[in-house]
Structure 1
Amino acid sequence: MNRTWLITGASRGLGNGIARAALAAGHNLVLGARNLEALEPLATEAPARVLAVSLDVTDEVAVAAAVDQAVQRFGRLDVLVNNAGYGQLAPFEENSPSDAERQFGTNLFGVFNLCRAALPVMRKQRSGHIFNISSIAGVAGMGGAALYCASKFAVEGFSESLAQEVAGFGIKVTVVAPGGFRTDFLDASSASYGNLHLQDYAEFTARIRAGSAANNHRQKGDPLKLGEALVTLAASEQPPLHFAAGSDAFEIITGKLERMKAEVERWQALSFSTDSNF
């Protein structure tokens, strides 16, 4: 079945891989990115099925315009992929309040903006599928990425709640937790580090940066294969609410669930002691 997809952050990385997979599967695409020129290769590959739009997900006017253009061009909007985002790294204390605001502005409020614009269209259709791209860092906290983890944990909680609210309209929600994928996520063009350098964190920060540099462009994940997986999920009658993307993501998530279960069970008696006696 031919569907219309709107993908944010489609110029590179995961968004580009998802776009290429959806295009190969025969779908119509509305591709959003701040750098419109970077979308030209995909737009020229299938001009009848691809609409490239300049899109900053923090700009509510631009977001509404992108959704309107999707409907005007293709008549409907079936799949929304909220992929745009970046990593604000370094320990929490080395990031400023403005760093936190920018991180949440893109990674969380950008998701809100797209959902706010797309949901009326999907409700009217009584169908649709929203993919919110979270991260393994949205399931398991990671030192040196407190703000990034916080923004992605919020995406996870939002997605779980939204899924319950819109299910009655035939709209499905899947929150995707990718592990390490071979993109430029850890490059200076994507990752951002706080500028409040504190001596107490110097050794820790150096270790985090060295690990990131050593792993950069050596990750297991293939963005195109992730795209193919999302195409499969979009065609499913009963897609999952949670999708772990990559063997590393699967291992981290299942490991955390096991540890968390053991921890809460260890303190079960104290937990129950807080109940009222009447």
Structure 2
Amino acid sequence: MRTWFITGANRGLGLEIALAALEAGDNVIATARNPQQIGEAPEGFADRLHTIPLDVTDRAAVDEAVGAAIARFGRIDVLVNNAGYGQLGAFEEIAPETVSRQFATNVFGVFDVTRAVLPVMRAQRSGHIITISSIAGMQGFEGSSIYCAAKHAVSGWSEGLAREVAPFGIKVTCVYPGRFRTDFLDGSSVRYGDFAIEDYAEASARHRQALDANNHRQIGDPRKFAALMLALVGAEEAPVWLATGSDAYAIFANKSAALADNIEQWKETILSTDF
């Protein structure tokens, strides 16, 4: 029996992962700003589900939540860094303080939760840290530059962290979901720019209309995503990068080809800077 610590577990992918872990017979620490949204534990699971209110931007609350998890179940085997939201809009239309809030949740919140959990996993000499990035962590998209920046940040961090903690038996996987049919594009999960600039008006309107049209019509199945996370944790070997969804596969394949083309096209220039 494993113990999962999941942030942002009140809805979407986080909630589906929590339910899948419970159905697999595992313990779940489900955290969220509003844990009451998680609802009652499914019948027979109450003794294995512990909900905790948690704002990942509150470091003291993070430490308290991890302490409560250990007090309840004695260990943490899987950390799922899922809490976050989408700050969309053109870069120039987003205020500096809004950028800071995006990074406080999507980046520094991830760092702080992981920092609190790592001593537990090091003592166990085992554990798996799963951070939910996005296809926006692999490719930049117009109208999403700040969100892309935050997701690229946790992607690069995951790669470095994986090397640092491997000697302690801890696995690290950065997951890059494509578009899954959750409420991510609802007003409760996504935010747009703070002010409008005429030069961006047409492109911004087009981008928002496209996202609105795709809301709750996304190709990805959240339950299948959750099942994949269970399989990932059960695998003997874990990848550092894991794309999920056919659209994510296409993004990875195109990025890989573009990088290969880039280094070959600019090879002579790239190599010319050595002594």
Normalised by the shorter chain, which TM-score bucket? over 0.9
Please give the alpha-carbon distance, in whole angstroms, between the structure 1 residues aligned to 2:113 and 2:42.
Answer: 21
TM-score normalised by L of structure 1: 0.97
Change (3 A) 1:45 1:181: farther
Contact 1:43 / 1:51 at 8 angstroms: preserved in 2? Answer: no
CA distance in 2 between counterparts of 1:92 and 1:72 reads 43
Equivalences for 1:177-256 in 2 at 5 Å? 177-256=176-255
* Residue type of the alignment partner of 2:59: E
How far is 1:75 from its partner? 1.1
> TM-score under structure 2 normalisation?
0.98
Indicate the percent of aligned positions where both proteins have the same amino acid. 54
2:130 maps to what in 1? 131
Which residue of the partner structure matches residue 14 of structure 1? 13
Deviation of 1:67 (Å): 0.9
Q: Which amino acid aligns with 1:240?
A: P
Any conservation in 2 of the 1:43–1:50 contact (CA below 8 Å)? no
Counterpart of 1:112, as a letter, is F
Deviation, 1:45, is 5.5
Structure 1 counterpart of 2:179, one-letter code: G
Query: How many angstroms apart in 2 are the aligned matches of 1:123 and 1:33?
Result: 25
Q: Give 3-state SS (helix, strand or coil) of 2:47's partner.
A: coil
Between 91-100 and 16-25, the greater mean CA deviation after superposition: 16-25
Measure the CA separation in 2 of the matches of 1:69 and 1:49: 14
**1:228-266: CA deviation from partner (whole Å, max 9, x where unpaired):** 101111011111111101111011111111011101110
Equivalent in the alignment of 1:272:
271
Q: Distance in 2 between matches of 1:45 and 1:225?
A: 23
Match of 1:67 in 2: 66
Alignment correspondent of 1:258 = 257
1:44, distance to aligned residue in structure 2 (A): 6.4
Match of 2:117 in 1: 118
RMSD across aligned positions (CA): 1.0
Q: Determine the C-alpha separation between the residues in 2 that align with 1:31 and 1:271.
A: 48
Whole-angstrom CA distance in 1 between matches of 2:42 and 2:32: 12
Q: Give the Cα separation in 1 of the matches to 2:261 and 2:228.
A: 32
- For residue 46 of structure 2, give the secondary structure of its aligned residue in structure 1: coil
Using the alignment, how far apart are the partners of 1:252 and 1:183 within structure 2? 20
Aligned counterparts, 1:18-57, within 5 A: 18-42=17-41, 46-57=45-56
Displacement of 1:43 = 6.7
**Count of matched residue positions in the alignment of Structure 1 and Structure 2:** 275
For residue 270 of structure 1, give the secondary structure of its aligned residue in structure 2: helix
| Residue in structure 2 matched with residue 150 of structure 1 by the alignment | 149
Rounded Cα–Cα distance in structure 2 between residues aligned with 1:69 and 1:58: 18
Q: Which amino acid aligns with 1:15?
A: G
Q: Matches of 1:99 and 1:44 in 2, distance apart?
A: 41
> Which consecutive segments of 4 or more residues in structure 1 shift more than 4 A?
none
**Following TM superposition, by how much is the alpha carbon of 1:42 offset from its aligned partner in structure 2, in angstroms?**
3.1
* Consecutive unaligned residues in structure 2, runs of 5 or more: none
Give the secondary-structure state (helix, strand or coil) at the position aligned to 1:48. Answer: helix
Could you say what secondary structure the match of 1:41 adopts? coil
* Of 68-77 and 88-97, the range deviating more from structure 2: 68-77
For the pair 1:82 / 2:64, whether they are aligned, the reply is no
CA distance in 2, matches of 1:44, 1:29: 15
Distance 2:260 2:114 in 1: 33
Residue 139 of structure 2 is matched in structure 1 by 140
Counterpart of 2:262, as a letter, is E
SS of the equivalent of 1:113 reads helix
SS at match of 1:108: helix
Deviation for aligned residue 1:40:
2.2
Which SS does the other structure have where 1:71 is aligned? Answer: helix
Report the AA paired with residue 103 of structure 1: Q
Q: Does structure 2 conserve the Cα–Cα contact (< 8 Å) formed by 1:17 and 1:225?
A: no
Q: Which runs of 5+ in 1 are unaligned?
A: none
Q: Distance in 2 between matches of 1:224 and 1:35?
A: 22
In 2, are the aligned partners of 1:20 and 1:224 still within 8 Å (CA)? no
